[in-house]
Amino acid sequence: MNRVVPSETDQALVLGLSGEVIMDVVPDLKVEIERLADGSAKTAVVVDLGAVTFMDSSGVGLLLGLRRFCQQRDKVFELANPAPPIKKLLDMLRLTEYFTPGGRVG
Amino acid sequence: MAKRLCIVDDSESFRTYLGSLLHAAGHDTIRRFASAEDCLDALTAPGAEPADLILMDLIMPGIGGLGGLRALKANPSLADIPVIVITVSDDNESLAAAFAAGALDYIQKPPRRPELIARVEAALRLKAATDERKARERDLQNEKEFIAAILEYSHDGIAVVARDGRFLFVSPGMERIFALPADTYTTLDRWLDQAFPEPAARLDLTDVLALPPAPGHVWRRLHTFADRNGQPRTCQIYFSAMPSGDLILNIQDVTLFEKQKEDLLRKHDRHRKDLEAAAEIQQSLLPRRFSMSESLKFAWEFTPCETIGGDIFNVFPLGPNHIGLYMLDVSGHGVASSLVALSVYNFMHYQRSTLVDRSGGHIDVVPPHLVLTRLDEEFPYSKFSKFFTIFYMALDLRTGQACYGNAGHPAPLHIAADGTITPLPLRGTIIGLEGFQPFPSGTVTFAPGDKLVTVSDGLPDRLDDAGTFFGETRVLDVLRANHTLPIGELLASLRQAAEDFCAGTPPRDDVSILGLEFVHPKPL
């Protein structure tokens, strides 16, 4: 499976993803990320997409689910460093604002 | 390590004298006893320090030196301690008795220093050699018992067969696997007759055994054997050879594993058939007719992915003067995605009040952005854990004017009769975010000969075997090059271009292409 690389800043748990975030790996990633987020006392979760090369709709679904997961635990959810193709995908889906902290809760 | 010596003599002055001689020769660990009984008591006491050599006077009160010697040799824990007896004279009878009782050597009183030291050192060397040999024997015995325990408790059966077919070794695991009596393992033929009665299995094994692997190579094969009740079971045999040419068989009973594998394959097959059935249902929902009006032609191409996807599209009449067209792509693929796609299809098909408004006594087409808003209310991500993108357009056949709404779907392409391609620019967010943002409303006008092509992201995301995307640029290039073709042929050329590019690499997601061609306005 794709590894989730965790690190921390003062306020946030930062989870680095890499490679292709597609349907084949999403179930394992979801379990791992939720486990790490639940085990962290930080009030924010940042998913770092800097090393992600491709994301399909299952990967986008993972991000939507994680945002909801964090909301239910009163944590801020944020995306960081999307590479150009991922940024283009999020823009096409008009999700950039949705994943910006302070964006209206859906 | 310092050697531990014992002097046993009833004469205190002799014990002191002998001790001083040995001390002068470098021996510091010397215990002195006045009788054989005292010496025996000290050496057999719990936690007693062992001895490397005993110098024992023969003539002493009590059991005396001879009695002490016999008692030492009769005790297994003391029997290895060499004993040098000390005599007062050359008493042949006593000496013979002492040697018969196990004495190693003797010295006469008064001892001559060089002789005493030479005999003591020789005895100590002998004791050291004996101790070393005994330690080696103990190690060998431990090793042997360890290997025997491995073979005893190993689940595998291990057998060694000589080149002439005789069994040289059979581990207890063989009995556990085959449950055959021990006398089965005389020759390979006898064992094969008993354990592999089925001719094909026996022949298969005989072939391997006739031409065994060279030393250093391992062959592995599955063979069917009969258990004690004649029921078939499966074993995996590893064949390897020793440098001598003897053949080693390492055998595992894999009956359960093979059965689990079969069950898994059966389940996988059932799952695959379920997916195929779902895919057939999905495809049965795609539009059948290619012209519903002389004013309009449409066409589509659909390439499903291996596991069913979540694409669905349709073209349908919206009252007497309009047609509706949509393409949707539910996130993920698999049965859950296709079920959501089917639900949206049903919603669009049967909830026509969502699409047309008859409240004013005539048929009004509901603006597409309102249709998207309604879908967003009906299909929240929080309920289905799925989102979808959709492009929906309502076209007035009388005027060629269309209004559309786009929820995160790749921008459809308007192809003017002169070949100018314009992506429909307005686009809102995906369906499922429960009113996160309003959906914008767009319009486009079709002149006779204009076309519209909409695709799912499965098309630009198709990969060749080197991992390169087909990409949006190639989609535009193909459409530009073939824009004069009738809509059906145009879409076919796009599908074929993607197929050629991917050279047999199957799509990872459904690939949907839907197109329409506005022929002329419907007469009023």
pLDDT in tens, B464-495: 989 899 999 999 999 999 999 999 999 999 99
CB contact under 8 A, A93 and B430: yes
pLDDT band at B290 (very low <50, low <70, confident <90, very high): low
Q: What does the pLDDT look like over B421-449, one tens digit per residue?
A: 999 999 999 999 999 999 999 999 999 99
The burial of B284, by beta-carbon neighbours within 10 Å (0-12 exposed, 13-18 middle, 19 or more buried), is given as: exposed
pLDDT band at B291 (very low <50, low <70, confident <90, very high): low
C-alpha distance from residue B503 to each of B303, B470, B489 (Å)? 14, 11, 20
Are B459 and B470 spatial neighbours (Cβ–Cβ below 8 Å)? yes
Position A2 scores a pLDDT of 58
- Sequence-distant (≥ 6) Cβ neighbours of residue B336 within 8 angstroms: B385, B386
B427 contact residues in A (CB cutoff 8 A)? 92, 94
The helix (H) or strand (E) run that includes residue A35 is helix A26-38
Compute the distance between CA of residue B61 and CA of residue B212 in angstroms, rounded to an integer: 75
CB contact under 8 A, A22 and B508: yes
B408 contact residues in A (CB cutoff 8 A)? 92-95
DSSP secondary-structure letter at B353? G
| B17 interfaces chain A, CB cutoff of 8 Å | no
Compute the distance between CA of residue B408 and CA of residue B168 in angstroms, rounded to an integer: 74
Least confident of A15-24, B73-82, B220-229, B434-443: B220-229
- Tokens 């013979």 correspond to what residue? B96
User: Which tokens sit at B392?
Assistant: 């929906």
A76-A80-A85 Cα angle (round to 5) = 135
Q: What is the largest CA-CA distance in chain A?
A: 34
A26 contact residues in B (CB cutoff 8 A)? 332
Q: Give the residue among B337, B476, B327 at the shortest CA–CA distance from B404.
A: B327
HEC sequence for B101-127: HCCCEEEECCCCHHHHHHHHHHHHHHH
Q: Average pLDDT over chain A, rounded to whole?
A: 90
CB contact under 8 A, B387 and A64: yes
Q: Is the pLDDT of residue B2 over 90?
A: no
B303-B305-B309 Cα angle (round to 5) = 100
Are B405 and B369 spatial neighbours (Cβ–Cβ below 8 Å)? yes
DSSP β-bridge partners for residue A12: A44
CB contact under 8 A, B408 and A92: yes
The answer to whether the peptide bond before residue B110 is cis (omega within 30 degrees of 0) is yes
Indicate the SS3 state at residue B369.
Answer: helix
Q: Is the pLDDT of residue B363 over 90?
A: no
CB contact under 8 A, B408 and A56: no
- pLDDT average, residue stretch B342-364: 83
Q: What does the pLDDT look like over B368-420, one tens digit per residue?
A: 999 999 999 999 999 989 999 999 999 999 999 999 999 999 999 999 999 99
CB contact under 8 A, B386 and A23: no
Indicate the SS3 state at residue B334.
Answer: coil
Nearest to A93 among B333, B389, B508 (CB): B389
DSSP secondary-structure letter at B286? S
pLDDT band at B197 (very low <50, low <70, confident <90, very high): confident
Are B326 and B313 spatial neighbours (Cβ–Cβ below 8 Å)? yes
The helix (H) or strand (E) run that includes residue B325 is strand B322-330
| B329 interfaces chain A, CB cutoff of 8 Å | yes
- pLDDT average, residue stretch B274-287: 80
| A104 interfaces chain B, CB cutoff of 8 Å | yes
Position A103 scores a pLDDT of 46
- The 8 Å CB, 24+ separation contacts for B468-472 are B470/B498, B470/B501, B470/B502, B472/B410
- pLDDT average, residue stretch B228-249: 90
Are B461 and B453 spatial neighbours (Cβ–Cβ below 8 Å)? no
Position B473 scores a pLDDT of 95
pTM of the shown model: 0.64
Which amino acid does the sequence have at B277? A
Q: How far is CA A102 from the centre of its chain?
A: 16
Position A105 scores a pLDDT of 39
Position B289 scores a pLDDT of 61
The burial of A100, by beta-carbon neighbours within 10 Å (0-12 exposed, 13-18 middle, 19 or more buried), is given as: exposed
- pLDDT average, residue stretch B18-22: 93
Q: Is the pLDDT of residue A104 over 50?
A: no
Q: Give the residue among B211, B233, B236, B213 at the shortest CA–CA distance from B224.
A: B233
The burial of B174, by beta-carbon neighbours within 10 Å (0-12 exposed, 13-18 middle, 19 or more buried), is given as: buried
- pLDDT average, residue stretch B177-201: 88
Position B504 scores a pLDDT of 85
Q: Is the pLDDT of residue A1 over 60?
A: no
| ipTM entry | 0.88
Q: Which residue of B has its CA nearest to A27?
A: B332
Are B163 and B211 spatial neighbours (Cβ–Cβ below 8 Å)? no
Q: What does the pLDDT look like over B128-150, one tens digit per residue?
A: 999 999 999 999 999 999 988 88
Question: Nearest C-alpha of chain A: how many angstroms from B430?
Answer: 6
A98 contact residues in B (CB cutoff 8 A)? 429, 433, 436
- Sequence-distant (≥ 6) Cβ neighbours of residue B464 within 8 angstroms: B470, B501, B502, B503, B505
Q: What does the pLDDT look like over B26-79, one tens digit per residue?
A: 998 999 999 999 999 999 999 999 999 999 999 899 999 999 999 999 999 999
Compute the distance between CA of residue B354 and CA of residue B368 in angstroms, rounded to an integer: 10
Q: Give the residue among A16, A87, A86, A81 at the shortest CA–CA distance from A54.
A: A86
Q: Give the residue among B107, B61, B108 at the shortest CA–CA distance from B84.
A: B107
Among residues of chain A, what percentage have pLDDT more than 90? 85
Which amino acid does the sequence have at B389? T
Q: Strands B311-318 and B83-87: what pairing?
A: unpaired
